[in-house]
A and B are shown apart, each in its own frame.
Chain A
Amino acid sequence: MNIRLEEFSEQLKNYCENLAYNGLNLITQESIREIEFFLQNASQLEAYRLATSLRYLHVELKRFLGSSAAFNIERYVFFLSNCWLQCRAFITFTQSKKKDTDFFRSLMGTLSESKVMSLIILRLAGVEKVLLEGTMIGLVFYLVSLYGKTRGSILKWNLMFPYKKDLNPDVMFQLSLPNSDPPCTVEKILSNYFETEDIPCAIKEGNIFLEKNPNSKIFIEENSDDTVTILKLEKFYLDSEEIYNKLMKEEVTPFDLPTIFLDYLYIKQVKFIDCYKEEEKEKRIPVFVYVIDHEKKYPLFIRIPNKKINQTLITKLNVKD
């Protein structure tokens, strides 16, 4: 496997360097097919971390080729350099005499062995909608654990499905939640506390991932009327020190939801000095902009898209439409 991984890494490293040298002038459908081939190989080799970077690179290259307004240069360069860096790490690892297996697991993005948790009480803290064109579609829930050993930790729960043309992440909120009691739709998670029984958890780089299990049960607490998830977090001691520890443990990029999520956490500690609604013709969804006073001399701006999921938060923050 190591020989194949080394060859694969060499090929992908050269591909990245060619892209860097030639720029995007020579990009064709053939280049897209090449990257799809790399993506398949990375998945077969179970190099999940690399596969994730390749997916984003694939999306950006397709956007560029389709002259899409969504193409983002910084994002493209970020994932190009990520792929290149990981290939270099694989090559160095396979050529080194002393093999550090923990480093290899971390490079591959492999989860630790999962443990079944008998009971967890959870509250939603954030949702990421994922749409990987032609590959996968779904929702990633960021949850705060309110009970037991995991109390105060952030847990991630992926509800991912193979890509279908008519399916979009918004439609997925209306799908029924597997093994829920009483039976309900995924949307219920947005506004209710819930409990899970016998759900496997695996830890990766300080994050706890909830895994799929047909035997896991989900109990929805019907009477919870509190829908502002963010304000609840203060109760669970997510302060700037914990945020610092999180930053120490994982790479946070401007494109990751956790960055936005951390910004949300900061909101409750600061004073709002202005807020207004920003509407651009190109953007379909208006964005509420919160201008925030903090220790620095310049104000901090936080943008919250005017989406259904953010409505209660927007209302609570007293911003008039």
Chain B
Amino acid sequence: MAIYNPDEIFSILDSIKPRLNEILIKGVESISRENYSEITQLREKLEYMNLKSLNQELDSFLVNIDQILQAKISREMRSSLAENALQIITIIRLYERMMTLQIILNKLKKKK
């Protein structure tokens, strides 16, 4: 299994967060094709990193956004999309925390 530099993962997570924050401030219906392709590109970068739950949630989010852009959204889909967005934020927080702990732990091991 390939080992990725935490800085690389942090940098992608840091790129996803402001885009999601913007969506949560402006509302999901403000999403444009440009936003969609930006998130798709970030999703592609994550493809080979072992962040399974985040990738799955982003896939589902992108499918729902695509439906919005085609104006095919139902009430259920609205709820699901909001859930997707909040779930992605939660997963990112979890990954960030796990990686921070791992970095500190590695430092402590080196000291010993």
Contacts and interface: CB of A to CB of B under 8 A. Distances in A.
Interface of A: 14, 16-26, 73-74, 76-77, 80-81, 84-85, 240-241, 243-244, 247-248, 251, 295
A17 B82 contact: yes
A221 B93 CA distance: 44
B97 A251 contact: yes
Q: Which 5 pairs from chain A and chain B are nearest by CB?
A: A23-B27, A17-B82, A20-B82, A21-B82, A81-B89
B101 A247 contact: yes
Contacts of A81: 86, 89-90, 93
B13 to A, nearest CB: 13
Interface in B56-86: 78-79, 81-83, 85-86
Nearest to A298: B7
Interface in B1-55: 17, 20-21, 23-28, 30
B100 A17 contact: no
A308 to B, nearest CB: 33
Contacts of B20: 77
Contacts of B104: 240, 243-244, 247
A315 B107 CA distance: 31
Contacts of A16: 82, 86
Contacts of B89: 77, 81
Given A80-B86, A84-B86, A244-B101, A20 B24 contact: yes
B90 A25 contact: no
B79 A17 contact: yes
Chain A interface helix/strand/loop/mixed: helix
Nearest to B89: A81
Contacts of A248: 101
A20 B86 contact: yes
A77 B86 CA distance: 9
Contacts of B97: 251
A248 B97 CA distance: 9
Given A17-B86, A21-B27, 6 more contacts: A18-B82, A23-B28, A76-B25, A77-B20, A77-B89, A240-B111
Contacts of A251: 97
B108 to A, nearest CB: 6
Given A23-B24, A74-B21, A244 B105 contact: yes
Contacts of B82: 16-18, 20-21
Contacts of A25: 26-27
A73 B26 contact: no
A21 B81 contact: yes
